[in-house]
Amino acid sequence: MSALLASMAAVAAAAAGSGEPAGAGEPASAADSRVPVAHQIATRISNWGPRPAAGAAEARAHRLMRRVFRRAGLKVGTQEFRVPGRGGSRNTIGVRKTRRSCLRIAMAHADTTPNSPGANDNASGLGVLAALAGRLDRIDPRCDVWLVATGAEERVYTGSPDHLGALALARRVRRLGGRRRLDWALSLDEVGRDRPFWLRSPVPLPRPSVERFLLRAAGRAEVPVSWVRDDETGNSDHREFELLGMPAAKLGVGAGGEPCRHMPCDTPDRLDPRSLRLARLLAEAALSR
C-alpha cells in the first residue's frame, strides 16, 4: 500500500500545471448544463478535430480530462512515455481510494488517426470517464478506482505492435502488485453508438470474476451486452493487460461495427446520448459491487 501511495504522489506531482483554461470541462452555458456530461465532453473533444498520438490536440484532450478529474475530487497524475519517431504522449490518471486493497480500472484512449475527429473512436470513451468521475462518491466503489485517459492507442498511426499508453499503464499496475490487486481493467472504446454492446476479451471462456461479473453488472443496469471472444490478442487497451497476465476486457461497438472508424465521417453528430448513458450505467454497476 505504501508503494502505491508513493507512486501516485509522484504521478500527481508530475501533473501540476495543466495549462487548461479555467472552466474547462464545465458547461459553457445554461443550455450546455442540460446536456449529459458524457455527450458534452465527447462532443467538445471531437469538435477539436483529429488527435494523433504525441500531437498538440491529443495533449489538449488530456489537459481537459485532467481538469475534469481534479474537479471531481480525484487524485490526478500524468504518466509520460515516448512514441518512437513522434514525440511524447501520456496517460492521465484519476484515482479514488477506498479502504480496500483491490483495484479496478476504467480506461479510454484519447488519440485518433490523423484524418479522423474520433467522436466514437474514442471521444465517446473519454466522455463516459468524465461522467463517471463526477459520480464516484455517489457510487461508493467497492475497490480503489483508477480512471485513465490513455495515449497512443492507435497502432495504425504509431507503427507499434502495442497500444503504447496501455503498455505503460499495465507495467505500472504490475509493479504495484497488479497481479494480486487488480480485479479487472475495462477499456471503453467506441461506446457512443450501435447497441447492443459487445464485451470482448481474448480468453476461451468468460471468467467468473471478470467477464461474467461485468455481464451481471450489465444485467443489473439493464444494459444489453454480449460477450464475444477477441480475434487473436485484442485490438484495444485491454490487450496489454492480458499479455502481462492481468485480467481485462473491452466494452464497445457491437455486431454493426463502426463504419467510420479511422475516417473523417466519425463526427460528433453520430453520437447517441443513450448509448453513452448505458455505458456509464454499466461501469457504475461494475464499480459499486
28 within some domain: no
23 within some domain: no
Average pLDDT of every residue of the chain: 90
102 within some domain: yes
The answer, yes or no, to whether residue 168 has pLDDT greater than 60, is yes
Q: Which domain holds residue 143?
A: 2-14+36-287
C-alpha cell at position 64? 481537459
178 within some domain: yes
pLDDT score of 18: 34
Question: Of 34-38, 73-77, 260-264, 285-289, which range is least confident?
Answer: 34-38
Question: Of 57-61, 75-79, 194-198, which range is least confident?
Answer: 194-198
pLDDT score of 255: 87
pLDDT score of 25: 43
pLDDT score of 32: 52
What is the signed CA dihedral for 119, 260, 50, 62, rounded to 10 degrees? 40
pLDDT score of 289: 85
Give 265-280 pLDDT, tens digit per residue: 999 999 999 999 999 9
The answer, yes or no, to whether residue 59 has pLDDT greater than 50, is yes
pLDDT score of 194: 83
Residue 16's pLDDT band (cuts 50, 70, 90): very low
Count up the domains in the chain and report the number.
Answer: 1
The answer, yes or no, to whether residue 188 has pLDDT greater than 80, is yes
Contact 99, 37 (CB under 8 A): no
231 within some domain: yes
H or E element that contains 218 = helix 211-220
Q: Which residues pair with 90 in a beta bridge?
A: 80
71 within some domain: yes
pLDDT score of 17: 33
The DSSP result for 48-66, as a single string, is T----TTSHHHHHHHHHHH
CATH number of residue 241's parent domain: 3.40.630.10
Residue 256's pLDDT band (cuts 50, 70, 90): confident
256 within some domain: yes
The answer, yes or no, to whether residue 1 has pLDDT greater than 50, is no
136 within some domain: yes
Vertex 165 angle, CA 160 and 171, to 5°: 100
Strand 248-252 to 225-229 pairing = unpaired
